[in-house]
Amino acid sequence: MFHYFKIKGNSMFPSLEGGDLVMTSNLVEIKRDDIVVLNDATYGIVVKRISSLEEDYFKVKSDNLNTDSPVCAKSHSKRNIIGKVISVLWVFIFSNENKRFYIQIRKYESRN
């Protein structure tokens, strides 16, 4: 199944920026260094990179070394993973001479 999430904040910069729209899948294998969306009991929906991966648990990290997140200090159950980020979608809105609006979606594949 695929899900879409809008990135908030700058903890995953430069890989992801606030306002980016990401597509996730729970149908792909999760590996160390993948970016995942997880549901944390305290902080809700969180986007982070997997730093370590065990059989049932994993830890995460932020890409932006200038940020600190308590989510990174604890282990998470694999059951809390909503999906792996598989692409970033950019939406460009522009108009023509008749003031009609169009949306163009360009897909960027994840480097992982």
Instruction: List the domains of the chain with CATH numbers.
Output: 2-109 (2.10.109.10)
pTM of the predicted model as reported, rounded to 2 decimal places: 0.82
At 103, the pLDDT band (50, 70, 90 cuts) reads: low
The whole-chain average pLDDT of the chain stands at 87
Task: Tell me what the mean pLDDT of segment 12-40 comes to.
Answer: 94
Lowest mean pLDDT among 26-35, 71-80, 93-102: 93-102
Residue 112 has pLDDT above 50, yes or no: no
Under 8 Å between Cβ of 89 and 74: no
Task: Tell me what the mean pLDDT of segment 4-27 comes to.
Answer: 92
Task: Tell me what the mean pLDDT of segment 42-52 comes to.
Answer: 96
Which residues contact residue 83 at a Cβ distance below 8 angstroms, ignoring those fewer than 6 apart? Answer: 1, 2, 3, 24, 25, 26, 36, 37
